[in-house]
Amino acid sequence: MLYVVATPIGNLGDITLRAIETLKACDFIVAENPGYSNRLLQHLDIRNKEIFQFAEHNEQQVVKELARRLSKQNGAFITDAGTPGISDPGFRLVRECVNQNVQVIPIPGANAAIAALSASGLPTDRFMFLGFLQKTAAKTVSALQAAEAAEATAIFYESPERILKTLSYIANAFPTANVVVARELTKLHEEFIRGNPLDVIHQLQEKPSIKGEITVIISFKS
């Protein structure tokens, strides 16, 4: 059996009781980054637990063997932060387990996209999650046009290094859109920056530097 266990995206207090119980009870843990995950496990006083790495660089080599082992034992899958399988290789392990008739059970919890949307003040009745956008202006605009056509709020992740360039693409194509940049969610320096694309660009440019995990939410409704 595979348990897909959501872990905190910043504040360790966001771990659920069910997630802690599952991590303690499982036979082994599958982690995107064992070194990083060990810090969380130590915080939860979970020690001497066997950990297997499942990440982008080794997923093809280990996925079938992990699924076979999960047909006999219970494993918990965690990623560096948030819900496994969302913009990371995790879905491939889940897919292989499904193909091998291994039961998959979600243990829900933190997710940056949903957390940002819930506090954005933008429409939540219909939304489209776009993961990490491709880097060119044309592909960025095309992805957002799909959300606009669906009358959906768009949500995507972006790096601090690329956020200004991506927002410039958005300013050119959707100058009147409502934009929210959510940065460092649940952490000490959490902030929400709101406005039209140019407003948000100017607010970010006023900062000495741009750091942290970033989630962007865009509404095309007037």
What pLDDT is recorded for position 158? 97
What is residue 74's three-state secondary structure?
coil
Cα 58 to Cα 34, 55, 132, 175: the distances in Å are 13, 6, 21, 42
Q: Cα torsion at 139, 145, 146, 147 (round to 10°)?
A: 120
Q: CB within 8 A of 125, min separation 6: which ones?
A: none
What pLDDT is recorded for position 78? 96
User: Is the CATH code 3.40.1010.10 the one for domain 2-107?
Assistant: yes
Q: Strands 153-158 and 214-219: what pairing?
A: antiparallel
CATH H-level, domain 112-219: superfamily: Tetrapyrrole methylase, C-terminal domain (3.30.950.10)
Alpha-carbon distance 149 to 77, whole Å? 35
**pLDDT category, 60, cuts 50, 70, 90?**
confident
What pLDDT is recorded for position 92? 92
What pLDDT is recorded for position 126? 97
Question: Tokens 């008739």, residue?
Answer: 101
Q: Strands 178-183 and 214-219: what pairing?
A: antiparallel
Condensed to tens digits (0 to 9), the pLDDT of residues 149-196 reads 999 999 999 999 999 999 999 999 999 999 999 999 999 999 999 999
Condensed to tens digits (0 to 9), the pLDDT of residues 86-103 reads 888 789 999 999 999 999
Average pLDDT across the chain, whole number: 95
Closest by alpha carbon to 217, among 86, 120, 143, 82? 120
What is residue 150's three-state secondary structure?
coil
| Residue ranges of domains in the chain | 2-107, 112-219
What pLDDT is recorded for position 90? 85
